[in-house]
Structure 1
C-alpha cells in the first residue's frame, strides 16, 4: 500500500517526467547554464551530495532557494522536490524504528514528513539555505525515535495532506497610485478588475513606456505570447463573454522574470556588498537563486517584498487607461 513517501515520489515524477530540470532559475530556457540533467539524474546527485556535504553544496543551496521562491508563488512543486531528495534518508530509519518498537510504519513516516515541513516553515528567515536540509533531516530522525518510544499515535497526519496544493493568493490588491477612476470600495468584481487595468495603463502611459507594452499586447492577441494567469483565476463568467479570456496577464509579465543582484540591491536601497552578506547569513528578505557564480533575483519576489501588487489585468482595460491618460478618449 502506498504511503506518504511513495505519494511524494510519484507526484514529483509526474510533474517533471523525463524533461531537463533547472534548479538555478526554474526554467531551462532562461538559465545561463545550458546543460541540465533529467530529474532522475538530478535527484541522484542531490541525494549523494546531501548525505555527504549539504552545507557546502551549491546544488542544495539552489534547491532550497527554489523551494522558497515557489512558496512565494503559492506553488509547492520545489518543496516536494526537496522532500523527495530527503526521503531516501528517511526510509531505512522509519523501517528500523517500526520493526524495533513495533509501531505502524506509515504513522512514523507521516510524522517525519510533518516534522520536516514544520522545520521548513520555521527556517524561512534567519537560517542560511545551506543549513536547512540537515535541520529537516535531524528533526525528522528525532521525531521518529520519539514516536517509536511513545508507541502511540501522538503525531497523526493524513498521508495526502502534505500533497495538497495551496490555492493561488487572491489578487484583490490595487495599485498604490492615483487613478483616473476612484476604485475605492468597489464591490463589483468586474468593475474592480476593469479599474485595475485602466489604472495600470494610465501609469504606464505616464512613465512613457506604453509603446513597448503595446507590442507585448500585440503578441498576446496574435497568440505568439500568452500571459501566466491560470485559467482558474481569470475574470468572472460575465466579463469572459465580452473579453477574450486568453488576453489576461499579470503585471509582472511585463518585466523580465529575473534581474541581477546589483539591480535588486539598488531597488531595496542597500549596497551590493551588504546584499551578499545578508544572503550568506540567510537574512536576505526573500530567496535569491544562484546560477553558477552569480545570483538571480525573482522580480515577483522583489515586487512582493516592496508590497507592489502583481494584479491581473486585461489588455483592453490597460489600453483604455493609457488612452485616457493620453487624453485621446473623449
Structure 2
C-alpha cells in the first residue's frame, strides 16, 4: 500500500458511508440541511478540481475547513483535501516511474510531501480559491524533477501523519482585558479561581449571565456535556471545596461555534466591508467558512487571533465572579 492508498483508506475509515459537511464541519450546526455521503462528495470535489478549482465554491470551502482544522491540530480536512487531489496523480506518477525508471512509490511520496509543503506555505496571503491549483502545479513539477534526477529532492517526514494515523471513532460578547495578570500568579489553584471569577465578572450584566446560568444548569443536570470531560482531563487539578469536579469547561463553550462576519468584524475592530475585502484578497488573518452567499467565522479561530485564551474554568468560580461583580455576597 503506497501513500496514495493510505490517504484514501484513512479518510474512508474516518467518514465511512456517512454524510460530510464542508460548510462548518458539523452537520448539526450547519444551516444547510442536505449533505452528501463522503464517496459522492469526493467525486464532486475531484470533478470540480479538474474543471475549475479557482472558481469552485466547494474547493474554497474545503480549503477553509482545512485551515480551521489545522488550528485545532486536527488533520482530518487536510487529509480530505489530499484525498481529493491525488487521484489525478495516479496515472501521471505511473507514467513518470515507467519513463524515468524511478520507483513509483518514491514519486508518489515526493508529490505528497510537496503538497503538504505548499499547503503550509499558503496559509497566509493566498486566497483559498488558488491553493488547490498551486498545490497541484508544484507537485507535478516536483514529480518530473524526481524522475529526472533519479531520486527525491524532498524530505518526506511530514507524511508520517498519514502512515501513523490513529482513526477516530466516527448578542455576542468577547473581551480580553483584566486588571489581574493571571500568568503572574504562582499558585495554580488561585490562578484557576481568578480565571473563572474574571469570566463571571465579564458576563455579569443585564441579561448576559442568564445564558451562562442556563448553560451551568445543563452541565449540572447532565443535559449538556460539551468539552467538560476533556477539560477535567486537561486541568489535572484536584480541588477541595468545589461543588463537583466534573463541572469544568472551556470558556469557548459559552459562545456559539460560529458567528456572522459582521459580528466578527466588530470584535476585530474593523468594518464588515473591510473584512470582505480582506477575504477576497486572501489576506484575512484566519480562515472563514462560506455558507451559501455568506460567511461564518469560527469563534475559536477568532479567539486565537484576538489572543483570548480558551481557558478552563469551573462553574463555582464563574458564578462567584458574577456574584461579586453584581454587588452580592459569596
Residues of 2 paired with 1:229 and 1:112: CA distance? 41
State the Cα distance separating 1:210 from its structure 2 match.
1.9
Moved more, 268-277 or 135-144: 268-277
1:193 Cα deviation after fit: 2.7
Question: For residues 162-186 of structure 1, what are the alpha-carbon distances to aligned partners after superposition, in whole Å with 9 as ceiling and x for unaligned?
Answer: 33689xxxxxxx954124xx73433
Q: Measured at CA, do residues 272 and 165 of structure 1 come closer, stay the same or move farther in structure 2, by a change above 3 Å? A: farther
Tell me if structure 2 keeps the 8 A contact 1:200–1:321: yes
The CA deviation at 1:276 is 1.8
Kindly indicate whether the alpha-carbon contact (under 8 Å) linking 2:102 and 2:147 is maintained by their aligned counterparts in 1: yes
1:270 aligned residue: 270
Q: Which residue in the other structure is 2:238 paired with? A: 238
Residue pairs, 1:223-302, within 5 angstroms: 223-228=222-227, 231=230, 233-236=233-236, 238-239=238-239, 244=244, 246-302=246-302
Per the alignment, do residues 78 and 192 of structure 1 end up closer, same or farther by CA in structure 2, a change over 3 Å counting? Answer: same
Change (3 A) 1:244 1:94: farther
- Asked if the contact 1:252–1:300 (Cα under 8 Å) also holds between the matched residues in 2, the reply is yes
Note the residue ranges of structure 2 that are not aligned, 5 or more in a row. Answer: 167-174
Please give the TM-score of this superposition, normalised by the length of structure 1.
Answer: 0.88
| Matched length | 320
Unaligned runs of 5+ in 1: 167-173
Output aligned runs, 1:60-75, within 5 Å: 60-75=59-74
2:154 and 2:240 mapped to 1: Cα distance? 46
The 8 Å contact of residues 49 and 59 in structure 2, kept in 1 or not, is answered as yes
With over 3 angstroms needed to count, the CA separation of the structure-2 counterparts of 1:203 and 1:138, relative to structure 1, is: same
TM-fit CA distance, 1:228: 2.6
CA distance in structure 1 between the aligned counterparts of 2:18 and 2:241, rounded to whole angstroms = 37
- Displacement after TM superposition at 1:241 (Å): 11
Give 1:209-228 correspondences, 5 Å limit: 209-228=208-227
Q: Which moved more, 1:197-206 or 1:77-86?
A: 197-206
After superposition, the CA RMSD in angstroms is: 2.6
SS of 2:182's equivalent in the other structure is: coil
Task: Provide closer, same or farther for how the CA distance between residues 266 and 314 of structure 1 changes in structure 2, counting only shifts above 3 A.
Answer: same
User: Which stretch shows the higher mean deviation, 116-125 or 148-157?
Assistant: 148-157
Q: 1:178 aligned to 2:179? A: yes
Q: Hey, what does 1:162 align to over in structure 2?
A: 161
Aligned to 2:309: 309
Deviation at 1:133, TM superposition (A): 0.3
2:267 match: secondary structure: helix
Find out whether 1:142 has 2:141 as its counterpart: yes
Matched, 1:45 2:58: no
Query: 1:234, CA displacement in angstroms?
Result: 2.4
Listed one character per residue, the Cα deviations across residues 241-286 of structure 1 (whole Å, up to 9, x for unaligned) are 9774542222121111111122222222333222222211111121
> Aligned equivalents of 1:188 and 1:103: distance in 2?
60
